[in-house]
Amino acid sequence: MAGRCYVFSYVNPDTDGVCSAIGYSRFKRSTSGEGFLPVVFGTLNNETAFALEHFGVETPVMNPVLPQDCAIALVDTHHVRQLPAHMPLANVVEILDHHPAGDPAAFPNAAIQNDRIGAVATLVAERFKACPLEPDSTTAGLLLAAIISNTLNFSAPSTTDRDKEACAWLQKIAPADPDFACRMFESRSGIDSLSTQELLLADYKEFSLGGFVVGISQIESMDFQKISERADLMSSLERIKAHRRIDHVFLNCIDILKKKALLVCCDPVTQEKLTRALGADFKNNRAYFDHIVLRKTDLLPQLKKVLF
């Protein structure tokens, strides 16, 4: 394999993306000797920083310049619009993902595994288990944190039995403290220091659906009321739409404790699409749900039906 090998996720990745990249790097090195270097493009969120510090793992290399002859493994994405600009797509040789509506044709040289499960870390854990090869406790802890994070401690609708089985296997190697999930989610909710624009872009993804480009910001916290009451929330959403020159943009807020969701959208056309797709009832540019709503399991599949 020519050039250096890298493994990474989308720009501004979440805990699942970063920990899965590290875990998959260690898997490849252990099983084939291939040195895929885990890297991060964009920034780390508070929760991911907490997980890395908790398990004593150094932050991956940030925002490297990729050589033209490199080989790339992607985790937690295969959407072109979510990747670094000018990235050589033909250099991608492997993809591990769990999201619908990706761009598989954009990666002609990649072996793609895209399964409908709760976390990409589950796929990495399953590869260790299938060898069979037991990861070290640090790697197991990172993968465990990623699964807990992405499934919202198994309360998210995307959670599958495979996620639970992988978690049970990893916990035998790296037992989690009883309050670990709570402390991790508390670190995720530490958003007061972020500007509204930074907050919206922290976990922001764009998707091409039916000729339209949809930008969805997703925020998971212990209390979304503080977020929804920010005075510049609507203007910040409008700024993203104008700057990115996209068709639709909105915010999906999840209350981890109460297991509820809130959609925030100021564009009447986008509100109409969300109403048709989800039965959303917008009042003052906000629509509340008494259950968790996620991008990959609820928003994208339903929006795809009304946009195509």
Question: 102-138, pLDDT tens digit by residue?
Answer: 899 999 999 999 999 999 999 999 999 999 999 999 9
Which residues neighbour 176 within 8 Å (Cβ) at sequence distance 6 or greater?
Answer: 141, 144, 148
Average pLDDT over residues 181-202: 87
Dihedral, CA atoms, 155, 156, 161, 166, nearest 10 degrees?
-90
Q: Does residue 191 form part of some domain?
A: no
CATH number of the domain that residue 202 is part of: 3.10.310.20
If asked whether residues 201 and 175 sit together in one domain, one would say no
Same domain, 172 and 47: yes
Range 221-242 average pLDDT: 92
Q: Supply 145's token pair.
A: 């944190």
Domain span holding position 111: 5-185
Does 216 lie in the same domain as 169? no
**Percent of residues, the chain, with pLDDT higher than 90:** 84
Contact 43, 66 (CB under 8 A): no
CATH number at residue 67: 3.90.1640.10
The answer to the question of residue 190 being in a domain is: no
Distance CA 36, CA 47 (A): 24
Q: Could you say which of 185, 220, 245 is where a domain stops? A: 185
Look at the chain and report how many structural domains it folds into: 2
* Listed residues 185, 216, 247: the one ending a domain: 185
Q: What is the pLDDT of residue 1?
A: 44
Q: Which of 185, 207, 241 is a domain's end point? A: 185
Residue 210 has pLDDT above 90, yes or no: no
